[in-house]
Structure 1
Amino acid sequence: MAGELNKLSDKRLKNLQGTSRQNIEFIADGAGLSAKCSKVGGISWVFTYRLVGKKLYRVTLGNYPDMSLKLAREARDKCRSWLADGKDPKMQFNLTMEESLKPVTVKEALTYWINEYATNNRTNVERHKAQLEKHIFPYIGKMALSDCETRYWLKCFDRIKRESPVAAGYVFQMCKQALKFCRVRRFAVSNWLDDLTIPDVGKKQQKRDRVLTDYELGQLWTAANNQNFFSPYYSSLLIILITFGCRSQEARLSEWQEWDLEQWLWTVPKEHSKSGEKIIRPVPLQIRDFITELNKNTKNTGYVLGTLKKSEAVSQTGRQMHKRLEQVEPWTLHDLRRSLATKLNELGIAPHVVEQLLGHSMPGVMAIYNRSQYLTEKLDALNKWIERLDVLSGMHENVVILNLKKVIS
């Protein structure tokens, strides 16, 4: 077999090129590859094969010297591989050529993931879009995905890393998942990120353990219920976050159609839930008047908070709230969730009830067989929680009011 291969050479091809002849000639290189020499001296590469029976088929691979002898042999080997898999080399070659002539760009691949997966499965899809528009598309979005080597991706991640290593790791992980999705769906193939991990491009987000103290919670609860301290939007947001321990996006995206003001239930739809499951929370007695008044003020907008703010703006404002309250240790809006979970456990609320309030997926077989919403238990827990907050806010009443007046003035 080795003697049948590689019969041609670059020297011979140069001598053949440009030489006129009376008839078209096929000069074999071996294993199905031939140089087709036209009457006027042109040379093209042809692969000859059989699929079924004795009939011969040919596929033109390219023209010499645009396609070198080396590349022609590589194309021949690829055709033989397709043939061994029972695939028609001509059809596969044409598909490959279409892909190379009109390659999928980085932007097209990532947008495919956004449209076909993230939109229906990621509650923070708008954040994904914003990050891609800011950090990826302006720099490598127009590049062919197959040509976008690791070094080009790293330039993007390094640019993000200079400002936020955690954000760099987040964007990298998102892009890596998107490319895997495209590869599995056979939309486009890229393996340039496969060997990288988050530490290679940035940092993993550290697990936070911040829990607000009783004093901090009492002070914040007083401020949230003071119409002159925070803006109406953030006062309402804080009351909902502190009361239910919900994710900020659940409150931010909440619409009045989710709220049953007769049964006093708030049903977070699955498209707003990180777990992909709807979350039903009873409204505690102590804040029903607040919800009723809020409904009067914002019902015509459709949104519980009266408007739809971007998640980045809400998070940034949340990170600054401790300063307005003159609290030393920083906290985020998500820390309010952890604080509720911790305090409810301290109040003796059953762990499974706390998990249900937080909207966490139930573990193991409980997720399959236990479909109870524990509404009675959740309402009892939230009523006790509000009572506790009222105690905490009044426990340091003089200090709290003094601080609020100082900041307001």
Structure 2
Amino acid sequence: MATTSKKRLTNQVLERITPPKTGRLEIGDDLCPGLILRVSEQGAKSFSVIYRVLGEGGVTETGRPLTGKQHRITLGRWPVISLTDARERARAILAKSGAGADPRAELASSIRERRANTFSAVLDRHIRQDAARTISSWPNVERVLRLHVVPHLGDRPMADIRRADVHEIIDALVVGGKIGTAREVRKQLNRIFNWAADREIISLNPLSGMKRADLARNTEAGRALTDVELRSIWFGAEEMRYPFGPLYQFLMLTGQRRAEWAFCQRSEIDTANRWLDLGKERFKSRREHIVPMSDDLWALFERLPVWAGANDYFVFSSRHGRVPVQGFSQGKSALDELAQEYLRKQLGRPDAKLQHYRVHDFRVTCETRLAHLGFNQEVRDAVLGHAKPGLQKTYNKHDYLDEKRRALEAYSAHILATVGVSTPFPEGVGRQARIAEESGRLIPAN
């Protein structure tokens, strides 16, 4: 049975109150009538508010509304909820009940909404309504989130996720050396939380103002690779198994972004015109972009595996053409090791070291060498898919298709001459296709 009393509650009073020997102690707050402190035999202290809803008891003959029976809402345990917060919440509940509204209905609705708006549920909704239509590489981003975030936050209500929760996920990725993945996780979570805040699913984005110096990007534009480096990387790629070996060679011969070839589907390859047709939905800047395929590149393309029983498939895939190639960090590490080994053989120096480079440097190399080959800036921008500057974007509607084809033919021939091969499909690539065929997974193209 509860023992009741009344006094002005303060933090000092809360600290000094001792638990009752039997039953439960209830103390009403003098400063906020209706606010109750409950103290159990075990010493647990919690706040609740007692109220009556105006009009719930009917009306008098003169039309005056009567209050109904007494209700109670538990606010939470002290000190998790402070005395100040408890008074504010109690006063808000009493104000609503005094106006004829039952706060329990609003509370129940809020609880249902919180349970419905878990991270997984909001992620699915975000994909349907926004990301799938606006982010060309979203399938790959979604895999990253489902792998690294959903296991930790999937069942959590969005409103309960704190910045510390995201820091914990990013910390684990950084410790594991996955800086690029950590950077992508923060970027996409920030996007999702902003989207949720805009739709009032949450009040604020918990990542707003997040500082992670360890995720700072390398702001350097990159560098052009030397002849020796190009030769080492080319033959390093030649030694790699499908899909990464041919993928890196495609990037070296065209200067395109990694995603444009890595996520390429067979239906995007126009056989009649011999080009890669990237629609607005997949190209980075939401513009159409066509990449003519030189004779050398086409010969390399025809040596790639063809996935049996599929009308369409990903050209570079590690899972039967159903999904695009994955594991870029591991692929780049393998390429670096093979290129390093070839560099030492090429120079005859066991201590020779391959200077650090990024896949993006293939684009820088393409831009630089096209300039050396005599192609002007407009053609180089068209090849790399750069947006036209200033008024050119508005008034210049030329597609530069012929110019791009001539540039990429010349560039492909230049790269192959630089690395010292007369054909872009050396024995290594053919050997990969045969090994794949013997495994029963692939059928080489004619």
Superposition TM-score, scaled by structure 1 size: 0.70
Contact 1:319/1:331 (<8 A) preserved: no
1:107 aligned onto 2:124: no
Q: 2:256 matched to which residue of 1?
A: 246
2:152 to 139, 143, 153: 139
1:217 to 226, 230, 240: 230
Classify 1:288/1:136 alpha carbon distance in 2 versus 1 (closer, same or farther; 3 Å). Answer: closer
1:98 aligned onto 2:105: no
Q: 2:219 matched to which residue of 1?
A: 207
Displacement after TM superposition at 1:78 (Å): 7.9
Q: 2:381 matched to which residue of 1?
A: 355
Displacement after TM superposition at 1:92 (Å): 10
Contact 1:34/1:45 (<8 A) preserved: no
1:271 aligned onto 2:281: yes
Partner AA of 2:282 in structure 1: H
Displacement after TM superposition at 1:243 (Å): 1.8
Classify 1:172/1:76 alpha carbon distance in 2 versus 1 (closer, same or farther; 3 Å). Answer: farther
Distance in structure 1 (CA, Å) of the matches to 2:206 and 2:253: 46
Q: 1:142-181 residue pairs with structure 2 within 5 A?
A: 142-164=155-177, 165-181=179-195
Q: 1:407 matched to which residue of 2?
A: none
Partner AA of 1:313 in structure 2: G
Q: 2:293 matched to which residue of 1?
A: 283
Q: Which runs of 4+ in 1 moved over 6 A?
A: 55-60, 77-80
Partner AA of 2:193 in structure 1: L
Contact 1:182/1:188 (<8 A) preserved: yes
Partner secondary structure for residue 281 of structure 2: helix
Distance in structure 1 (CA, Å) of the matches to 2:223 and 2:64: 73
Distance in structure 2 (CA, Å) of the matches to 1:256 and 1:249: 14
Residue deviations 1:333-386 (CA, integer Å, cap 9, x gap): 333222212221232322222222222333334333333220111112112212
Contact 2:274/2:293 (<8 A) preserved: yes
Displacement after TM superposition at 1:279 (Å): 1.0
Classify 1:44/1:382 alpha carbon distance in 2 versus 1 (closer, same or farther; 3 Å). Answer: same
Contact 2:93/2:103 (<8 A) preserved: no
Displacement after TM superposition at 1:152 (Å): 2.9
Contact 1:264/1:283 (<8 A) preserved: yes
Contact 1:241/1:248 (<8 A) preserved: yes
Q: 1:44 matched to which residue of 2?
A: 51
Q: 2:206 matched to which residue of 1?
A: 192
Contact 1:252/1:308 (<8 A) preserved: no
Distance in structure 1 (CA, Å) of the matches to 2:308 and 2:398: 30
Classify 1:357/1:295 alpha carbon distance in 2 versus 1 (closer, same or farther; 3 Å). Answer: same
Classify 1:212/1:298 alpha carbon distance in 2 versus 1 (closer, same or farther; 3 Å). Answer: farther
Q: 2:6 matched to which residue of 1?
A: 11
Classify 1:114/1:189 alpha carbon distance in 2 versus 1 (closer, same or farther; 3 Å). Answer: farther
Partner AA of 2:272 in structure 1: E
1:388 to 402, 414, 422: 414
Classify 1:79/1:107 alpha carbon distance in 2 versus 1 (closer, same or farther; 3 Å). Answer: farther
Q: 1:84-95 residue pairs with structure 2 within 5 A?
A: none
Structure 1 unaligned regions, length at least 5: 1-9, 14-28, 36-41, 49-54, 84-88, 402-409
Contact 1:319/1:330 (<8 A) preserved: no
Distance in structure 1 (CA, Å) of the matches to 2:145 and 2:406: 44
Displacement after TM superposition at 1:316 (Å): 2.1
Residue deviations 1:273-306 (CA, integer Å, cap 9, x gap): 2222221122224444444x34785686534347
1:342 to 368, 379, 394: 368
Q: 1:64 matched to which residue of 2?
A: 72
Q: 1:51 matched to which residue of 2?
A: none
Contact 1:109/1:188 (<8 A) preserved: no
Distance in structure 1 (CA, Å) of the matches to 2:184 and 2:411: 34
Classify 1:126/1:262 alpha carbon distance in 2 versus 1 (closer, same or farther; 3 Å). Answer: closer
Partner AA of 2:189 in structure 1: C
Partner AA of 1:247 in structure 2: R
Classify 1:211/1:99 alpha carbon distance in 2 versus 1 (closer, same or farther; 3 Å). Answer: farther
Classify 1:198/1:390 alpha carbon distance in 2 versus 1 (closer, same or farther; 3 Å). Answer: same
Which is worse superposed, 62-71 or 378-387?
62-71
Contact 2:257/2:360 (<8 A) preserved: yes
Contact 1:106/1:141 (<8 A) preserved: yes
Contact 2:144/2:185 (<8 A) preserved: yes
Contact 2:119/2:157 (<8 A) preserved: yes
Classify 1:189/1:378 alpha carbon distance in 2 versus 1 (closer, same or farther; 3 Å). Answer: same
Structure 2 unaligned regions, length at least 5: 9-29, 36-48, 56-62, 76-85, 344-353, 427-446
Partner secondary structure for residue 66 of structure 1: strand
Partner secondary structure for residue 419 of structure 2: helix
Distance in structure 1 (CA, Å) of the matches to 2:322 and 2:226: 30
Classify 1:59/1:162 alpha carbon distance in 2 versus 1 (closer, same or farther; 3 Å). Answer: farther
Q: 1:226-265 residue pairs with structure 2 within 5 A?
A: 229-265=239-275
Identity of aligned residues (%): 21
Partner AA of 1:72 in structure 2: A
Partner secondary structure for residue 176 of structure 1: helix
Q: Structure 1 or 2: larger helix share?
A: 1
Classify 1:387/1:109 alpha carbon distance in 2 versus 1 (closer, same or farther; 3 Å). Answer: same
Distance in structure 1 (CA, Å) of the matches to 2:159 and 2:199: 16
1:130 aligned onto 2:178: no
Q: 2:327 matched to which residue of 1?
A: 313
Distance in structure 1 (CA, Å) of the matches to 2:414 and 2:282: 29
Distance in structure 1 (CA, Å) of the matches to 2:417 and 2:87: 84
Distance in structure 1 (CA, Å) of the matches to 2:224 and 2:291: 22
Q: 1:320-331 residue pairs with structure 2 within 5 A?
A: 320-325=334-339, 326=341, 327=343, 328-331=354-357
Partner AA of 2:229 in structure 1: E
1:378 aligned onto 2:404: yes
Q: Alignment RMSD, CA only?
A: 4.2
